[in-house]
Amino acid sequence: MADTAQPKPMGAHTHDSATRRDFLQIAATAMTGIGAAIAAWPLIDSMNAARDTLAAGAPLDVDVSHLRPGQQIVVLWRSRPIFVVNRTPAELKTLQEQQVTSQLRDPGSETNQQPAYAKNWHRSIKPEYLVLVGICTHLGCIPNFTPEPGALFPAWPGGYFCPCHGSRYDLAGRVFSGVPAPYNLPVPPYNFVSDTVVRIGENPSGTTFDLNSVEQL
């Protein structure tokens, strides 16, 4: 402590040299700080999804020509289960019945859980084909497809039942009131590239929708 030589007192410098020293030191410190930030960015960015991960998340084509009415298939897109259902006319009728809609928390799909082109009574582009992200909006389990009327209880219209905590959804993915799940099942971006091929992950031309914008995935 006491054995370092002290630099010459400040008064020995002209005012000019003092400000030049301040400028240099400020410039040196600032540039070093900027350099450190620039050096940190590649490390942080390397944790973002890599090119191959993004490529694997490219849109997925699903051929529904073999999907029978009343049947559901599940495909994986961006690591999430996607339900594709071919709904029967009878099932479509129940979606508009007051007996069903009165039990739903959000029958009109007001909460942002679907693209604009699926904000309708059947929550889809073509009424007979339903496309949903099969992740319960409560805590993320995969709900069971339970389309048979009366399966869970006599008045059950058909829909989904989540085994983890008992949440229920109808055959348009709309959540029932009084269950733990807060929102309707999300609808992903999708587009019919032909009458029988659905492309999951791509919006119809002229529309935009980002799945990450929904309230609860």
Partner 1 sequence: MLKPVVALAGLALLALVAAPAAAQEAVPSQSWSFAGPFGTFDRASLQRGFQVYEEVCSHCHSMNLLHYGDLGPNGPGGGIGYTEEEVAAIAAQHQVTDGPNDEGQMYQRPGRPSDAFVRPFPNEKAARAALNGALPPDLSLIIKARADSSPVKDITGGADYVDALLQGFKQPPKGFKMSPNMNYNVYFPGDQIAMPQPLQGNDVKFADGTHATLPQEAHDVATFLSWASEPMMEERKRTGVKVLIFLLALTAVLYAAKRQIWAEIH
Partner 2 sequence: MNAPATQGQSKLVRWIDHRLPIFTFMQHELHEYPTPRNLSYWWNFGSLSGIMLVIMMVTGIFLAMQYTPNVNLAFDSVERIMRDVNFGWLMRYIHMNGASFFFIVVYIHIFRGLYYGSYKEPRELLWMLGVIILLLMMATAFMGYVLPWGQMSFWGATVITNLFSAIPVIGGDIVAWLWGGFAVGNPTLNRFYSLHYLLPFVILGVVVLHLIALHQHGSNNPLGIDRKGPQDSIPFHPYYTIKDMFGLGVFLIIYCVFIFYLPNALGDTQNYVQANPLQTPPEIVPEWYFLPFYAILRSVPDILFIPAKLAGVLCLFGAIAVLFFLPWLDTSRVRSARFRPIYKWVFWLLVLDVLALGVVGAHRPEGWYIVIGRVATLYYFIHFIVLFPVIGWLERPLPLPTSISAAVTRRSGAGMAGATAPMEKH
Closest by CA to 211, choosing from 115, 138, 98, is: 115
What the block records as the tokens of 166 is 């008992």
| Residue 165: active-site member | yes
Nearer to partner 1, 59 or 186 (CB): 59
First CA to last CA distance, the chain: 61
Q: How far is the CB of 30 from partner 2 (least distance, A)?
A: 13
Q: x/- string (CB under 8 A) for partner 2, residues 178-197?
A: --------------------
Site for partner 1 in 53-112 (CB under 8 A): 54-56, 58
Nearer to partner 1, 35 or 150 (CB): 35
Taking the CB of residue 154, how many other CB atoms lie within 10 A of it? Answer: 7
Selection from partner 2, partner 1, none that 27 binds (CB < 5 to 8 A by kind) is partner 1
Ramachandran assignment for 48, one of left (phi > 0), alpha (psi -120 to 50 degrees), beta (any other): beta
| Separation between Cα atoms, residue 1 and residue 37, nearest integer Å | 34
> Under the criterion CB under 8 A, does residue 25 sit at the interface with partner 1?
yes
Selection from partner 2, partner 1, none that 116 binds (CB < 5 to 8 A by kind) is none
Among 17, 19, 32, 144, binds partner 2 (CB under 8 A): 32
Selection from partner 2, partner 1, none that 76 binds (CB < 5 to 8 A by kind) is none
| Separation between Cα atoms, residue 204 and residue 4, nearest integer Å | 75
What the block records as the tokens of 99 is 């007996």
- Report the SS3 class of residue 9: coil
Selection from partner 1, partner 2, none that 48 binds (CB < 5 to 8 A by kind) is partner 2
Which active-site residues does the annotation give? Answer: 165
